[in-house]
Structure 1
Amino acid sequence: MAKKYNEFDVVVMPTIDEEPFGLVALETIAKGMALITTNSGAIPEVVGEGAVIVDKNSDFISNLAMQMEKLAVDSDYRNELGKKAYSMARRVVAFNIDNYYYRLVNILDTKCSQNTISVIVPVYNVQDQLKKCVDSLINQSYTNLEIILVDDGSTDNSGLMCDELAGLDQRIRVIHQNNGGLSAARNSGLDIATGEYIFFVDSDDYLDLSTLEKLMNHMSRCNADVVACGFAYTYDEKTESPFTNPSPGIWSGKEAVIQMMTNNNLCTTAWNKLYKACLWKDIRFPKGRVHEDEATTYKVLYASNTVAYLPECLYKYYQRENTIMKGNLEKRYKDYLMAIEERIQYFAGCSEQRLVDNSILVLLEYTKYVYRSIQSKERGCLKHQYNKYIKEYGIPKSIRARKKIALLVWKYVKA
């Protein structure tokens, strides 16, 4: 294949589906050749200024043809682009083709090491579900685990059950604390975790017995910092129902945040992901709030170099009538809006306009969703809040005209 590149002056890579890393793009810039490609997946992060990027979502065919014609007839432009590409491929260590192949061979030749996974399980009044959850952990095919049960002031037998389970398996550690909520329980687990990897499980959920082994293997294969799996809703009397996208993927941290906000794959949930523990060094969940995942997960993904998604539904998300996130929308939506506003400010501080725009869109769409879903005086407050968001943030420029019009027109809906 390397010899084939020598026969041509320009490589056209018109990818419209998600491109996980872009090996062809990497090989092209390493050869110092002019490249035309798209803003798919992690490609822009790979090629930087060393390629012509065509927006796949805006008049794609015409713009692609125009760039192809320009490079075909303008040899100076073509040579200048090739020099930039070659310089970048040598300057950025992570994109050096020799280093890439060396790492790839090492990954393929190395079996998954038996590093410790710290599994953090917040526990609160789940005496009927706890044993099933813990059984799914102690019977994992990946055995090098530190299972941290955080009894968050349970008023039933859950705390006693934690101690009894710890007596049956030396890998289980128990924390008893006053009730502080899900965030406080997770944070307590993070504070004492000693493993090289972190995984969260809610105490009324459970895992397929091969979950952690498959995630560790996938993390090794992809050289990823975070690996998410698919999940399915499970019930007492109904068959399980898959929720997540069936297509696999691998992205840069920045692109992973976009995926989290726009697709049912990574999702914002903390609990369907295996993380390198170092990512959590300076990140904790906000105490005293619901929608804590919305306020936290994006920071971990953004801090990652590579994020992978394994679509198999390995995590089983149990649905019960008194689950905290069911109902009470009027009581909890404000925490969600607060989390998204914080996200907007976070990415604005990082000068990440694309991530800001996507967050603004999430904020506006969720406000509309809550407005449609409740019947109370809160609707007037939401209408006022929506107009405030439009005035403060505006409509993201990156979205299509029809969507812009729909968002602007909604300002005039009667409360």
Structure 2
Amino acid sequence: MTEVAVSIIVPVYKAEKYLKKCLDTLVHQTATNYEVLLIDDGSPDNSGKICDSYADKYPRVRVFHQVNQGVAKARELGIKKAQGKYIVWVDADDSADSRLVEDVLKAVNRSHADLVLYGVQYQYQGVVTKEQIPQEEEISAMRRKSVTGQYSTLWRFASLRDFWVGEQVPEEMERSAEDGYMSIRLFIKARHVETIPKVLYYHIGDNPNSIRHTCDGKYYMGNFSIWYYRLRICEENYKDLMNHCASRALSGAVKAYSISLVNHDLPENFIEKLVKAIRDLRRYPIKGRWRDKFLGWCILHNMDIFCVFYARHKISKMKK
């Protein structure tokens, strides 16, 4: 195989229904100087066997199996094993255009970019719901968008592998906020970003095993943590966004705390962080969010019964 320029890394967990379609788009790229790394995160279905079958058939595919540790740890392993100068992330239930790697390398060769943004098409039950095409703009505007969450999914862009060296996602963000955290970190490091104004990635929103369809304390702990992290950044750089971030952080905090009362799925140090943050967030003039403010007041005054009622209602609603 020729020298590897791009490593496509695919974290795999409970994706057997979608995995073959995904991998077919990756092994049939128009470029040749790339590899595909499949990180089986202890998937209990047939995903691991499917990964092995593709590795047996296609020399550019490598598979690594690990005990289930979550997507953050799967990505860490992928980075350690990657040989390419650039990293492309693909979710196991999504797919890529056949020219993804080729077009990324063309963009890199034009400008030696640190990051390459490309268009994404969103689908649900076979219906295209929207498309996002990146616009050419100043890096400062892109950094701002990464903080607001507009650029907060890793499969929207390719990045230098070196940018990942030394990075570690905070424990409280590993469940559901790794993308948002690492997107910010990568955009902060980037000095030049190239854009490809066409769709090269297809995101499928059907998978019931996706993190988006969960309702537990760990999920909302991540949601709170990423918005609290964004708030700290905004205090230094984007003061006009502070109240928005504070509002979202409060919402995530009361949900994480309340649901943990029912599910008992957060360690004590996480609970302490939530209570401390809820107390801190009172200094921001958050508009609206009356339910969140009320639940926050209940948390600070040890009136957990109202939080339990709210959590049971939300969990029941999510299960329907």
Q: Give the TM-score normalised by structure 2.
A: 0.74
Among 179, 184, 201, which residue is 1:293 paired with? 179
Partner letter of residue 307 of structure 1?
A: V
Q: Does 1:274 align with 2:158?
A: yes
C-alpha separation in 2, matches of 1:155 and 1:251: 44
Distance 1:303 1:358, change over 3 A: farther
C-alpha separation in 1, matches of 2:290 and 2:45: 48
Which has the larger helix fraction? 2
Please state how far the C-alpha of 1:181 moved relative to its aligned partner: 0.5
What is the CA deviation profile of residues 347-396 of structure 1, one whole-angstrom value per residue up to 9, with x for unaligned ones? 48xxx8214x3663442242466599x7x967xx99996663242xx46x
Q: Does 1:219 align with 2:219?
A: no
Contact 1:256 1:302 (8 Å CA) reproduced = no
Q: Secondary structure at the match of 1:293?
A: helix
Please state how far the C-alpha of 1:409 moved relative to its aligned partner: 6.5
Please state how far the C-alpha of 1:163 moved relative to its aligned partner: 1.1
Distance 1:144 1:177, change over 3 A: same
Partner letter of residue 239 of structure 1?
A: V
Gaps of 5+ in 2: 260-270, 295-320
Among 144, 147, 159, which residue is 1:261 paired with? 147
Please state how far the C-alpha of 1:294 moved relative to its aligned partner: 1.8
Among 211, 218, 230, which residue is 1:324 paired with? 211
C-alpha separation in 1, matches of 2:240 and 2:3: 38
Partner letter of residue 86 of structure 2?
A: Y
Q: Secondary structure at the match of 2:35?
A: strand
Partner letter of residue 300 of structure 1?
A: L
Q: Does 1:338 align with 2:225?
A: yes
Q: Secondary structure at the match of 1:129?
A: helix
Q: CA RMSD in A?
A: 3.3
Matches within 5 A, 1:145-156: 145-156=34-45
Distance 1:129 1:414, change over 3 A: closer
Distance 1:179 1:384, change over 3 A: closer
Please state how far the C-alpha of 1:257 moved relative to its aligned partner: 1.6
C-alpha separation in 1, matches of 2:148 and 2:197: 16
Contact 1:229 1:273 (8 Å CA) reproduced = yes
Contact 2:227 2:246 (8 Å CA) reproduced = no
Q: Which structure's relative contact order is higher, taking Cα pairs within 8 Å and 6+ residues apart?
A: 2
- Tell which deviates more after alignment, 333-342 or 117-126: 333-342
Among 246, 251, 262, which residue is 1:364 paired with? 246
C-alpha separation in 2, matches of 1:311 and 1:263: 20
C-alpha separation in 2, matches of 1:157 and 1:135: 17
Distance 1:139 1:368, change over 3 A: same
C-alpha separation in 2, matches of 1:155 and 1:122: 14
Q: Secondary structure at the match of 1:249?
A: coil
Please state how far the C-alpha of 1:276 moved relative to its aligned partner: 1.4
Partner letter of residue 339 of structure 1?
A: I
Distance 1:338 1:370, change over 3 A: closer
What is the CA deviation profile of residues 253-274 of structure 1, one whole-angstrom value per residue up to 9, with x for unaligned ones? x44220223474xx11111211
Among 195, 198, 204, which residue is 2:87 paired with? 198
Q: Which is higher, the Rg of structure 1 or of structure 2?
A: 1
C-alpha separation in 2, matches of 1:159 and 1:115: 24
What is the CA deviation profile of residues 136-192 of structure 1, one whole-angstrom value per residue up to 9, with x for unaligned ones? 111111221111101111111111111110011100111011000001111100011
Q: Does 1:251 align with 2:138?
A: yes
Please state how far the C-alpha of 1:134 moved relative to its aligned partner: 0.9
Q: Secondary structure at the match of 2:163?
A: helix
Partner letter of residue 170 of structure 1?
A: P
Task: Quote the residue 1:175 is aligned against.
Answer: 64
Partner letter of residue 231 of structure 1?
A: V
C-alpha separation in 2, matches of 1:247 and 1:213: 18
C-alpha separation in 2, matches of 1:165 and 1:410: 49
Task: Quote the residue 1:310 is aligned against.
Answer: 196
Among 24, 27, 31, which residue is 1:142 paired with? 31
Q: Give the TM-score normalised by structure 1.
A: 0.59
Aligned residues: 276
Contact 1:187 1:285 (8 Å CA) reproduced = no
Among 12, 26, 36, which residue is 1:123 paired with? 12
Distance 1:270 1:358, change over 3 A: farther
Contact 2:11 2:91 (8 Å CA) reproduced = yes
C-alpha separation in 1, matches of 2:277 and 2:291: 13
Task: Quote the residue 1:399 is aligned against.
Answer: none
Q: Secondary structure at the match of 1:224?
A: coil
C-alpha separation in 2, matches of 1:247 and 1:197: 19
Distance 1:284 1:147, change over 3 A: farther
Matches within 5 A, 1:404-415: 407=286, 415=294
What is the CA deviation profile of residues 17-64 of structure 1, one whole-angstrom value per residue up to 9, with x for unaligned ones? xxxxxxxxxxxxxxxxxxxxxxxxxxxxxxxxxxxxxxxxxxxxxxxx
Contact 2:225 2:249 (8 Å CA) reproduced = no
